[in-house]
Amino acid sequence: MEELDGVGAASTIQKLESLLLVAVPRDLTDRDVLRLRRGVLESVRRYRSRWVLLDFSRVDICDSFFGRFIQSTARMAGLMGSEVIISGLQDAVIETMVELGMTLPNIHAVLDLDDALALSREQEQQDGGMPAPGVEPLESWEDEVVVASPFTNLSEV
C-alpha cells in the first residue's frame, strides 16, 4: 500500500517574513485537517502574520472536502486580519477542481513561493506608504490597489 503522508503526519508551519508558510500534506483525514486549521490560527496569532501561505505543491488529490478546508481556513484567518494565499497547485489538481465546480472566492492564488513573497512584500510596502483613508480621493486609492495587485482568483481561472 502507498505511503499516506497526511494520516497522522504533522504538517510544517513556518514563519517567513510576514508570511506564515504552511506546507499542506497530501492525504489529510478530517482530523488532520481540523488539527492543521487550528495550528494555522494559533500561529497567525503568535506571529501576527498578515499572510497565510498554503503551499499545495505536495497535494495531488483535492476533493470538495479539501476545498471546504481552504475556504474555512481563509474565513477564520480573515477574522484575525490575515489573508490566505494558496500556491503550488498542480495542473491536474486545478483541472479537476474547476471541472468539479469548486470555487474559492476571496482567495489569492500564486504559482509558487517566490510569487507569494513578492506579493506580500509589494502589499506591505503599499500599506506602509499608503496615505490615511480620506486624505486621497477613494477612486485613486482603488485604482492603485487594483493595478498593483497581481492576484489571481482561482474561481476566475
Partner 1 sequence: MANTPLNQVRFTISNVVDVVKARRRGLVVATEMGLHPAEANKIAVVISELGRNIEQYAGEGVITLTVYDKYVEIIAEDQGPGIPDVARVLAGGYTTSQGMGLGISGSKRLMDEFEIQSVVGKGTTIRALKRLR
Ligand X SMILES: Nc1ncnc2c1ncn2[C@@H]1O[C@H](COP(=O)(O)OP(=O)(O)OP(=O)(O)O)[C@@H](O)[C@H]1O
- Which residues of the shown chain bind partner 1 in the complex (CB under 8 A)? 1-2, 4, 6-7, 27-31, 60-65, 67-68, 90-93, 95-96, 99-102
Q: Under the criterion CB under 6 A, does residue 64 sit at the interface with ligand X?
A: yes
**Residue least distant from ligand X (Cβ):** 64
CB-nearer residue toward ligand X: 65 or 78: 65
Q: Which three cell numbers stand for residue 64?
A: 470538495
Determine the Cα–Cα distance for residues 56 and 42; give it in Å rounded to an integer: 20
Helical (H) or strand (E) element with 86 = strand 83-87
CB-nearer residue toward partner 1: 92 or 118: 92
Residue 13's contacts (CB-CB under 8 Å, 6 or more residues apart) are: 20, 21, 22, 23, 39, 40, 43
Residue type, 73: T
| CB of residue 148 to ligand X, shortest distance in Å | 36
CB-nearer residue toward ligand X: 72 or 140: 72
